[in-house]
C-alpha cells in the first residue's frame, strides 16, 4: 500500500495537506468566471468573454509582457504564477507602469494565475507577442482562470468540480484535458448548469489521474440568455520525484 493511499484514507486529511504536513503533496484550487458569455457561444471560463483560451501562444517559452496600465494603477506590484521552460512551478513579481510596457525577466511556458498588490482600478493585461494570456478585471485584483497545467514531476488527481450560471440562463460545460504528448484536447468530464437550478457540484469518488505537463481547460456553451458562468476545481498534486526518493 502506497503512502499516498494511506494519507488520503485518513479522516480530514485535507487539513494536513493544506498545512504543509506532507512535503510531496500540494493542494491546488482553481477557480474562474467569464463575465458575460453570449448565447450560443462557446468559450473558456476565464476573464475574456466568448473566447477560447489561447494555448497556441505557449508553443514556446518566453517572457510575459504587461502593456501600459491606467495612471491610477501605476506602480502596483503584479505577481504571476505559472511554469518555466521545464514545466516547473515559477513565480515572478513585477511593477506595472502607466508610461511603458513591462516584461518579466523570467521565461514562462504557462501562466495560470496572477494577482496585484492593491485593487486595480482598470483592467490589467498580460500578453505573449500581443496575445492576451491573462487578464485581471478592474477591482478584482486577481485573475479568474479555470485553466491549469500539471507541473513536471507531479501527478494530478482531480477531486472535485463545481460550476454555476447566472439566474435565467443555462449552459453546457466541459472539462477538456490535453494529455501531455497529444496535440489536441479531449473531454474529461461534462456537466449541465442552470441558474434557476442552483450550482453544479461533483465529487470524484474515484479521482481522475492527470499526468505531468497536461493542460486543463474548463469551457462552457450558453444555450439561453447571456450569462456569467463560474467554474472551480480542486486538485491534489503528488510530487512523484520526492516519492521516488523514499
Fold of 3-52+147-245: Jelly Rolls (2.60.120)
pLDDT at residue 1 in the model:
39
**Mean pLDDT (the chain, rounded):** 93
Identify any residues that bridge with 35 across adjacent strands, giving them in sequence order: none
pLDDT, tens digit, for every residue of 21-73? 988 999 999 999 999 999 999 999 999 999 999 999 999 999 999 999 999 99
Dist CA 142 CA 230 (whole Å)? 15
Report whether 212 contacts 241 (CB < 8 A): no
Reported as a pLDDT band with limits 50, 70 and 90, residue 228 is very high
Phi–psi pair at 90, nearest 5 degrees: -150, 140
Dist CA 38 CA 73 (whole Å)? 30
Dist CA 223 CA 136 (whole Å)? 26
Dist CA 173 CA 115 (whole Å)? 26
Cβ contacts of residue 140 below 8 Å, gap of 6+? 47, 120
Helix (H, G, I), strand (E, B) or coil at 103: strand
Tell me the mean pLDDT in the region 129-135. Answer: 97
Report whether 88 contacts 241 (CB < 8 A): no
- What is the residue whose three cell numbers read 478584482? 140
For a pLDDT cut of 70, what percent of the chain falls above it?
A: 97
Cβ contacts of residue 8 below 8 Å, gap of 6+? 236
pLDDT at residue 101 in the model:
98
Length of the chain: 246
pLDDT at residue 242 in the model:
57
pLDDT at residue 195 in the model:
83
Dist CA 158 CA 38 (whole Å)? 29
pLDDT at residue 102 in the model:
98
The three cell numbers of residue 187 are: 473531454
pLDDT, tens digit, for every residue of 174-197? 999 999 999 999 999 999 999 887
**pTM exceeds 0.85 for this model:** yes
- CA 218 to chain CA mean position, Å: 9
Residue from 66, 35, 64, 65 nearest 51 by CA: 35
pLDDT at residue 246 in the model:
44
Is residue 245 pLDDT above 70, yes or no? no
pLDDT at residue 5 in the model:
73
Report whether 44 contacts 38 (CB < 8 A): no
The three cell numbers of residue 102 are: 513591462
pLDDT at residue 241 in the model:
66
> Domain spans of the chain?
3-52+147-245, 56-136
Most distant CA atoms of the chain, gap in Å: 58
Amino acid at each position: 500500500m502506497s503512502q499516498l493511499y494511506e494519507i488520503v484514507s485518513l479522516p480530514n486529511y485535507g487539513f494536513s495537506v493544506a498545512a504543509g504536513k506532507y512535503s510531496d503533496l500540494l493542494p491546488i484550487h482553481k477557480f474562474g468566471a467569464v463575465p458575460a458569455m453570449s448565447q450560443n457561444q462557446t468559450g473558456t471560463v476565464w476573464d475574456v468573454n466568448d473566447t477560447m483560451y489561447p494555448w497556441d501562444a505557449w508553443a514556446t517559452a518566453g517572457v510575459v509582457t504587461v502593456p501600459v496600465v491606467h495612471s491610477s494603477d501605476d506602480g502596483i506590484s503584479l505577481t504571476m504564477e505559472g511554469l518555466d521552460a521545464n514545466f516547473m512551478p515559477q513565480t515572478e513579481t513585477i511593477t506595472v507602469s502607466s508610461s511603458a510596457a513591462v516584461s518579466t525577466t523570467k521565461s514562462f511556458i504557462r501562466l495560470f494565475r496572477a494577482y496585484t498588490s492593491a485593487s486595480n482600478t482598470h483592467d490589467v493585461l498580460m500578453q505573449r507577442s500581443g496575445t492576451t494570456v491573462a487578464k485581471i478585471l478592474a477591482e478584482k485584483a486577481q485573475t479568474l482562470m479555470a485553466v491549469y497545467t500539471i507541473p513536471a514531476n507531479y501527478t494530478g488527481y482531480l477531486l472535485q468540480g463545481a460550476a454555476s450560471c447566472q439566474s435565467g440562463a443555462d449552459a453546457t460545460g466541459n472539462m477538456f484535458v490535453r494529455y501531455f504528448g497529444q496535440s489536441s484536447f479531449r473531454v474529461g468530464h461534462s456537466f449541465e448548469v442552470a441558474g434557476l437550478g442552483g450550482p453544479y457540484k461533483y465529487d470524484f469518488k474515484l479521482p481522475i489521474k492527470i499526468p505531468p505537463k497536461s493542460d486543463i481547460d474548463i469551457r462552457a456553451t450558453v444555450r439561453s440568455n447571456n450569462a456569467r458562468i463560474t467554474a472551480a476545481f480542486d486538485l491534489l498534486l503528488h510530487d512523484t520525484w520526492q516519492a521516488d526518493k523514499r
